[in-house]
Amino acid sequence: MSVIDQAAPQQYRHLRLNVLRYDPRHPAAKPHMQEYQIEEADSMTLFIALTEIREHQDSTLQFDFVCRAGICGSCAMMVNGRPRLACRTLTRDLPDEITLAPLPFFELIADLSVRTGKWMRGMSERLQTWLHAQEREVDICRIEERMDPDLAEQIYELDRCIECGCCIAACGTAQMRQDFVGAVGFAKIARFRLDPRDTRTDDDYYELIGDDTGVFGCMSLLACHDVCPKSLPLQTQIAFLRRKMAAQGL
C-alpha cells in the first residue's frame, strides 16, 4: 500500500559522496574534497548516510542534525549545488555521485557545519522580530482577544519559516552584501505586518527594510522562493512588501 511495500531495488547502489572538508581552526588545513563510498539502503536519507560515514569511516567529519524530521532547520547544506535540508533528502532522489558543501554566506564552523543560528539571531535583533504590542499589560486571566480564523491561518503560514538559511544561500544579493536581510527577514516583516496585534506601521517597517540592505536590495531572482523547504510564498510577499515600502518612501 505504501512505497515501502513496493518492490525494492534488488541491487543496492554504490554511492560516492564528495564532501568539502575544511576546519578553519586548524592552522595547516586547506579546503579540499574528500570522497566517501557507501552502499545505499532503503529509505536512506543524507542524515542516515552521513551518520553512517561518521560512525564507521571518519569520526572527524562535522555536520549538524537535530530533529532529523525536516522541522528544526539545522541541516541545510549544498547538495549537488542546491541548498536543501539534508535530513529529508532521500538518496534515491539523487544520482550515484553526491557532492556536499556547507551553506555559503554563513560563518563556517567546519566541514558541513555553519553558524546559521548566530546570523539568524542578529537578523532577529535588527528587524525586531517580536510582537510590538501596546504598552498596556494584558490580563492573562481574561478571555483572549479575538482574531479572525482565516487571518490566524495566514499568519501561521508565514510563521512556518524554520530559519534554515536555504533562502540566503540561494540569494544573489546575499552573495554580494553580507548585510542583506534576505527572504527570511522579509518573511518575518510580512508576518508581523499582517498581525493586527502588532502596532508598528509601514513607517516603522520602512525604517527597518526600506533600503538596499532590505527590500530594495532584492534583485528579484527569487531563487529563495524555489528552494524554501517550507514552500513559503516568498515571491508574493517580497513583491508586496516592495510595493508597500516604495509607496512609503515617496
Partner 1 sequence: MKTFMTDVLVIGGGLAGLRMAIAARQRGHETVVLSLVPAKRSHSVAAQGGMQASLANVTKGIGDSEDVHFEDTVRGSDWGADQVVARMFVNTAPKAVRELAAWGMPWSRVRGGDHEVVINEQRVTLTERAEAHGLIAQRDFGGTKKWRTCYAADGTGHAMLYTTTNQAIRHGIEVHERAEAVALIHDGERCYGAVVRNLVTGELIAYLAKATAIATGGAGRLYHVTTNAVICDGSGHAIALETGVARLGNMEPVQFHPTGIFPAGILVTEGCRGDGGLLRDVNGDRFMPNYEPEKKELASRDVVSRRMEEHIRSGKGVHSRFGTHLWLDITLLGRRHIEHNLREVKEICQYFLGIDPAEKWIPVRPAQHYTMGGIRTDHTGQSPWLKGLFAAGEAACWDLHGFNRLGGNSVAETVVAGMIVGEFIADFCDKPENDAPFPLTLAREFVQREEAKLAAILDGNGHENPFQLCTEMQHIMTRHVGIFRNGDELLDGIAHLQRLLERSAKIGVSGKSRAANPELVATYRVRRMLKLALIIAQGAYLRTESRGAHFREDYPRRNDREWLKRTLAFWPDEAASMPSFEYEPLDVMKMELPPGWRGYGAKDYIDHPDTPCRQQEVDATRSRMEGQGRFAVQEALMPYTDKLPASLTGRNERLDEPLETSR
- Sites for partner 1 among residues 134-193 (CB under 8 A): 138-149, 152-153, 155-156, 159-160, 162-163, 192
C-alpha cell at 60: 572527524
Residue 175: which of 215, 137, 129, 223 has the closest Cα?
Answer: 223
When computed from its CA atoms, the radius of gyration of the chain, rounded to whole angstroms, is 21
Residue whose CB is less far from partner 1, 177 or 197: 197
**Contact partners, residue 203, CB within 8 Å, separation at least 6:** 248
Cα separation, 116 vs 120, in Å, equals 6
Contact in structure between 78 and 70 (CB atoms under 8 Å): no
Residues in 203-222 at the binding interface with partner 1, rule: CB under 8 A: none
Stretch that binds partner 1, among 96-104, 132-140, 172-180, 241-249 (CB under 8 A): 132-140
- In order of 50, 109, 118, 187, 231, the CA distances from 163 in angstroms are 22, 18, 11, 10, 13
First to last CA, the chain: 59
Residue whose CB is less far from partner 1, 39 or 153: 153
Q: Is 149 helix (H, G, I), strand (E, B) or coil?
A: helix
Residue window 64-103: x/- pattern of binding to partner 1, with contact defined by CB under 8 A = xxxxxxxxxxx-------------x-x-------------
Contact in structure between 157 and 236 (CB atoms under 8 Å): no
Contact in structure between 18 and 98 (CB atoms under 8 Å): yes
Out of 172, 198, 204, 235, the only residue in the binding site for partner 1 (CB under 8 A) is 198
Tell me the one-letter amino acid at 16. R
| Residue 84 C-beta: closest distance to partner 1, Å | 11
Residue 245: which of 211, 196, 198 has the closest Cα?
Answer: 211
Residue window 14-53: x/- pattern of binding to partner 1, with contact defined by CB under 8 A = ---------x-x----------------xx-x--------
| Residue 222 C-beta: closest distance to partner 1, Å | 22
Residue whose CB is less far from partner 1, 153 or 212: 153
Out of 55, 179, 207, 212, the only residue in the binding site for partner 1 (CB under 8 A) is 55
Out of 1, 28, 219, 250, the only residue in the binding site for partner 1 (CB under 8 A) is 1
Residue whose CB is less far from partner 1, 9 or 81: 9
The H or E element that residue 17 is part of is strand 14-21
Out of 91, 129, 173, 213, the only residue in the binding site for partner 1 (CB under 8 A) is 129
Residue whose CB is less far from partner 1, 139 or 250: 139
Q: Is 166 helix (H, G, I), strand (E, B) or coil?
A: helix
| Residue 58 C-beta: closest distance to partner 1, Å | 9
Residue whose CB is less far from partner 1, 67 or 223: 67
Q: Does 239 bind partner 1 (CB under 8 A)?
A: no
